[in-house]
Amino acid sequence: MKNIYIIGAMACLLSACKPSVNITTPPSAGDVDFTNYMAIGNSLTAGYADNSLTVSGQLNSYPQRLFEQFSLVGAKGPFIQPLLVSDIGYPGPKKVMGYTYGYCTHDTSMGPVDYPTWVSEPRDAETYLSGVNNNQINNVAVPGIRVVDYPVAGYASAFNPYAKRFYKDPSKRPLDELQYRVSNLSPTFFTMWMGANDVLGYATAGGQGDGTGNASPSIPGFNLYNNNDISPIKAFTDNYDSILRVARSSGADGALINIPDVTSIPFFTTVPANGLTLTRQGQVDSLQALYARAGFDKVFQLGANYFIVQDHNGNTRQAVPGELILLTVPQDSIKCKGWGSIKPIPAQYVLTTDELQNIRNNTKLMNEIIKARSVREHLAYVDMNTYLGTISKGITYNGIKYTAEYVTGGAFSLDGVHLTPRGYALVANEILRTINEFYHATIPYTDVNKYPGIKF
């Protein structure tokens, strides 16, 4: 061992002491042909962030990061995403950090606000054509789309402005569009991150609808399900299989990414359920008296109290530990209109224990299906549910600690649901890690900190 050091020291004399550390593991593709890469997914795959879609968001999507790394092991460009023209948000304004004046609290504070001078950019709504290789598109992700939306004819034209922009024929089914894109590109490798919206719509609506995973179509006879409900497991499974079959019709290898635990994202964890702070005994006594008159016993105390909420059956009660209040709850109404104290917080802003159980149970069931498909089809299975769970606890990457904390955590964008460019780069690295392991590849990782975080 010492000999090596001495040789090193001798070498220093000759080369004027300029050490260089060489790369010992060359990038390799392992068992996979990465030539043509296609990304299938929803808003998380499209690069949606800060409550909107922007061109810089698209250019910081995780498929963009993956392509850059895949290109080191044989992926061929260009990597085409249906880019927007504007960078201020489509079809609505993106959120930025800004100052707001609270008319009820009479103070100015800093936080996420809508892009102040937003006007819609007509060119964004025009049909997107890449103009490359028979209008090739590599990232076919559609914000908002669910697995159960794939068999719905006219989905793009009727329900989804993002899909409408770039679908070849918006009157057809998303599944037909995917078939067209696959035959057009002939992907040799694909990633598919589908399913989050099949539970998220229910969660962000504060748990409306049935929630059991057995919902019936909104209109009998049509395959159309309520956006504010959890997709039925049967329909989820059938359509996941259909999408997968089409995605693999050119024989591509790929990675299936599972559904995150949507209840651990800042959208649900930022406003504390016990955020009713009482500082005077008078407040305690009058609330006590109010609810005694209303006929039920509530226990209030000085300090932190659980909010008074309405559950989805219309009952007024006090929230219990573990229940979640949505980020979208109007703060002015809590501060100045007695929401959560003398009036209940409406059900649409509350996830109760039952609703949370519905979300978790169905996420688990759907992820079991995704995992089973990965096994059946010999595809890599990316456990993003677990990985994003570790971000909730905090992970440190090259000196930066990323957490799931709203705004300051660095991983989640200003909408509390989607990720920052850095968050998406972390996601890309987790996918790469899984691909490297499953396909015996040594694809280098992306440098997460090269990309923007929250802009203050």
Partner 1 sequence: MKKHFLAASLVLSAFSSFGAAYQLNLQGLRQLAMGGTGAAWPWDASTIYYNPGGLARLHGIQVYASALAIMPSTGFANQSTSGNQSTATRSIDQTFVPFSVYVGGPIQQDSKFAVGMGIYTPAGMGLKWDDNWLGKYIVQDIQLKAVCFQPTISYRISDLLSVGGGFVYTTGTLDLKQAMAVHGQAGPNYDDGQAKLHGTASGVGFNLGVQMRVREYLQLGFTYRSQINMSIGSGTAEFTVPASLRSTFPNTNFDSQLPLPQVATIGIGVRPVEALTIQFDLNYTGWNSYDSLRINFKDHTSGLKDMHAPRQYKNTLTPRIGANYKISKIVSVMLGGAFDPTPVKSGFVSPDLPDGNRAVITWGAAIKPLRGFTILASFESTSTSVHDESYDYGGFSGAYKTQAFTTGLGIYYNF
Whichever of 92 and 444 has its CB closer to partner 1, that residue is 444
Name the minimum Å distance from CB 436 to partner 1. 9
Residues touching partner 1, count (CB under 8 A): 65
Residue 410: which residues within 8 A CB-CB, separation 6 or more? 400, 401, 402, 403, 420, 422, 423, 453, 454
Of 93, 112, 143, 144, the residue at the interface with partner 1 (CB under 8 A) is 112
Of 55, 72, 125, 290, the residue at the interface with partner 1 (CB under 8 A) is 72
Whichever of 157 and 403 has its CB closer to partner 1, that residue is 403
Residues in 363-422 at the binding interface with partner 1, rule: CB under 8 A:
395-401, 403, 405-410, 421
Q: How far is CA 323 from each of CA 86, 223, 265, 400, 452, rounded to the nearest angstrom?
A: 39, 32, 14, 30, 33
271 binds partner 1 (CB under 8 A): yes
Q: How far is CA 153 from each of CA 29, 217, 293, rounded to the nearest angstrom?
A: 38, 14, 54
Contact indicator for 50, 57 with CB cutoff of 8 Å: yes
Residues in 25-54 at the binding interface with partner 1, rule: CB under 8 A:
25, 27
Closest CA to 57 of 70, 67, 44: 44
455 binds partner 1 (CB under 8 A): yes
264 binds partner 1 (CB under 8 A): no
Cα gap 39→85, rounded to integer Å: 21
111 binds partner 1 (CB under 8 A): yes
56 binds partner 1 (CB under 8 A): yes
Name the minimum Å distance from CB 96 to partner 1. 6
Whichever of 215 and 428 has its CB closer to partner 1, that residue is 428
Whichever of 213 and 409 has its CB closer to partner 1, that residue is 409
Whichever of 207 and 453 has its CB closer to partner 1, that residue is 453
Closest CA to 190 of 28, 380, 59: 380
117 binds partner 1 (CB under 8 A): no
Strands, E, within 28-105: which ranges?
Answer: 37-41, 95-102
Cα gap 165→218, rounded to integer Å: 26
Q: How far is CA 403 from each of CA 57, 191, 385, 388, 430, rounded to the nearest angstrom?
A: 20, 25, 15, 9, 16
103 binds partner 1 (CB under 8 A): no
12 binds partner 1 (CB under 8 A): yes
67 binds partner 1 (CB under 8 A): no
Cα gap 429→434, rounded to integer Å: 9
Q: What string marks each residue from 79 to 98 as x (binds partner 1 by CB under 8 A) or -?
A: -----------------xx-
Whichever of 40 and 324 has its CB closer to partner 1, that residue is 324
Structure tokens at 178: 């995917």
293 binds partner 1 (CB under 8 A): no
User: Phi/psi class of residue 50: alpha, beta or left (left: φ > 0; alpha: ψ in -120 to 50)?
Assistant: left
216 binds partner 1 (CB under 8 A): no
Q: Dihedral of CA 126/132/134/140: which sign? A: negative
Of 31, 76, 77, 109, the residue at the interface with partner 1 (CB under 8 A) is 109
Structure tokens at 247: 């995605």
Contact indicator for 32, 447 with CB cutoff of 8 Å: no
- The footprint of partner 1 (CB under 8 A) covers 2, 4-6, 8-13, 16-25, 27, 56, 69, 72, 96-97, 100, 102, 109-112, 271, 275, 331, 334-335, 395-401, 403, 405-410, 421, 443-447, 449-456
